[in-house]
Structure 1
Amino acid sequence: MLGRMWQASRRGLNLEHNPPHQFACSQWQTGHRPAIYYLVYRWLFFLSVLSIAITSFACQRLPQHYDGPKVELNYFKWFIYFTNWGYLLIVLQAGLGLAVVHKYRNQKTYCIPCDEEEIPLPRRQKTPLLCRVYWLSHNIATDLSFVITLVYWTLVHDPKIHEINALNILVHGCNSLAMLLELSVTAHPIRAAHAIFGAGAGLMYGIFSAFYWAVGGTDRIGLPAIYPALDWNKPGSAFGFVALCAVVMMFAHGVATLVALSRTKIAGRCRPSSSHLDKFTLPTH
């Protein structure tokens, strides 16, 4: 029994999925080759999130109501914040998603006939590395975006320090909306077991923040804690916060899994022909 459980766990955690062309298609298109409108969507999405990330980095400034000692702004401290880790992952998965679409639009190596067109798809193939990395980054970016939005507005945001402006809303609220849009448009599945990846990313940030504190790192206004709730001068509360975020990350992945499942069911009911994306789905293990 333990052996079967171990094999099932390995199958659930791997990043193999057939047919891999699902990573390049929209749930709402017809045909197996990436639709032109989906290619346009991928370009627009990538350029939008990239522009927001660049703007967030370039437009850094001290809090509007900051009245402490004079501090010289260090732009590279942008990279110490969990919010920005999450947004960089959104940009990464958007770029990889765009690369996957271009890969499959240009691929004409092998074909399976289907109705009126030939489908560039082998009978059975190993999931390409590009698709696996895209799937992994998509999973983590989705989980992190949901948790960042929730944690920021419930535990981090301080009206006395943080002003509510367009950029703040974009990186702390629209990040989740962006990944909800991705979940609604894409065709590839979300596996419940992959929740471990998002939780692992959260734990990695906790380790980074502890190391950063240990070597004397400070936040952008010179405080020893990147976030008040992640103050390693109080290791008990800091450990508790990291553990809480990891648990919330698991629940966030559960929400993402349900959204993806609902998308598939709705598409199947509204457009029975859209089930083409699953027509040639083969066993993944």
Structure 2
Amino acid sequence: MCKHLVLVPLDPTDTDTAMKKTCKPAMLGRIWQASRRALNLEHSPPHVFACCQWQGGTQPATSYLLYRWLLFLTVLSIGISSFACQRLPRLYEGPTVELNYFKWFIYFTNWGYLLIVLQAALALAVVLRYRNQKTFNLPCEDEEVSMPRRQRTPILCRSYWLAHTIATDLAFVITLIYWTLVHDPRIHEINALNLLVHGGNSLVMLLELAVTAHPVRAAHALFGAGAGLAYGLFSAFYWAVGGTDRVGLPAIYPALDWNKPGSAFGFVALCAAVMMFAHGVATCLAFARSRLAAKVLPARSDRFTLPAH
């Protein structure tokens, strides 16, 4: 008995629809995976977080360790002085108020400075950790070894990287916003401490960008913007529960007055946008630093230029 096989042509429209249904989840999956890789805090080799861009070898240099101690003690001393030396503005003419030292923690400037102290402490801890290790188990250039699965970046290094990223973005934004929108010469006097916390903060982070060896990823701009939005939410909550600034006014900053929600939302959005721009500047500076090091010290920079993902 003969069996007749009849071929029925497929409708091109059905084929295209099926392909679209198959490709769409795959494309979304690739986008999701790429976003996760860009936002994660994994980097290899991890010892770049413990070394200076301009040193030789993979062991933290003694000079870099001394720099880390000096920077940490300096920013810590400035932070303590900023807290301990609080006083009412010299030109303040309002009603007599009792100074509450703990209101130091409600100001965005001090949030940013605390992050500078934190990143300096974490950087010192990273250097001390790798300084105490006798070897990184790195193979010689001529040695053939099997490539094991790459280990995750230590949580100490990831924490330092996150703190450094946010502290850098906040420092630039705080300096810019303070001197352009917040500073009022009728109230705020210009003294050494004011200059250190509203200008020295950016200088410290510029110095950090110049000497550190780890990269700055463009996608990590979301971390700084998230910190800025978190402060905006905090200020709204603080206002809602009746909190006041150090002289008893309902707004922590005049531009962040939640009695005028439109202008307050606009100020938060402006800060978030400036934060993204500041991170772009930091990314470009870190890239320029690594490129310059590759030209000036090619043999040394090879240890710090392995793939970041």
Q: Normalising by structure 2, what TM-score?
A: 0.87
| Greater alpha carbon shift after TM alignment, 164-173 vs 122-131 | 122-131
| 2:228–2:271 CA contact under 8 A, matched in 1 | yes
Runs of 4+ residues over 4 Å off in structure 1: none
| Greater alpha carbon shift after TM alignment, 129-138 vs 103-112 | 103-112
Q: Which runs of 5+ in 2 are unaligned?
A: 1-26, 142-147
| Structure 2 residue matching 1:83: 3-state secondary structure | helix
**How far does residue 273 in structure 1 lie from its aligned partner after superposition?**
2.1
How many Å separate the matches in 1 of 2:253 and 2:298?
Answer: 48
State the partner residue of 1:237. Answer: 263
| 2:214–2:304 CA contact under 8 A, matched in 1 | no
**How far does residue 5 in structure 1 lie from its aligned partner after superposition?**
1.5
| 2:44–2:153 CA contact under 8 A, matched in 1 | yes
Deviations 1:40-98 (A, max 9, x none): 00000000000000000000000010011001000000000000000000000000000
State the partner residue of 1:278. Answer: 304
Q: Normalising by structure 1, what TM-score?
A: 0.94
What amino acid does structure 1 have at the position aligned with 2:95?
P
**How far does residue 110 in structure 1 lie from its aligned partner after superposition?**
5.2
Does the alignment pair 1:214 with 2:240? yes
How many Å separate the matches in 1 of 2:218 and 2:96?
Answer: 48
Distance change >3 Å, CA 149–CA 60, structure 1 → 2: same
State the partner residue of 1:108. Answer: 134
Deviations 1:120-171 (A, max 9, x none): xx98321000000000000000000000000000000000000000000000
Distance change >3 Å, CA 263–CA 123, structure 1 → 2: farther
State the partner residue of 1:155. Answer: 181
State the partner residue of 2:23. Answer: none
Please show how residues 242-281 of structure 1 align to structure 2 within 5 Å. Answer: 242-278=268-304, 281=306
Please show how residues 189-228 of structure 1 align to structure 2 within 5 Å. Answer: 189-228=215-254
What amino acid does structure 2 have at the position aligned with 1:66?
Y
Q: Which runs of 5+ in 1 are unaligned?
A: 116-121
| 1:30–1:276 CA contact under 8 A, matched in 2 | no
Please show how residues 1-285 of structure 1 align to structure 2 within 5 Å. Answer: 1-108=27-134, 111-114=137-140, 124-278=150-304, 281-282=306-307, 284=309
What amino acid does structure 2 have at the position aligned with 1:53?
G
What amino acid does structure 1 have at the position aligned with 2:34?
A
| 2:294–2:302 CA contact under 8 A, matched in 1 | no
How many Å separate the matches in 2 of 1:247 and 1:282?
Answer: 29
Distance change >3 Å, CA 170–CA 202, structure 1 → 2: same
How many Å separate the matches in 2 of 1:96 and 1:86?
Answer: 15
| 2:225–2:275 CA contact under 8 A, matched in 1 | yes
How many Å separate the matches in 2 of 1:283 and 1:158?
Answer: 44
| 1:124–1:282 CA contact under 8 A, matched in 2 | no
Percent identity over paired residues:
76
Highest CA radius of gyration, 1 or 2? 2
- Aligned-residue CA RMSD (Å): 1.4
Count of residues in Structure 1 that have an aligned counterpart in Structure 2:
277
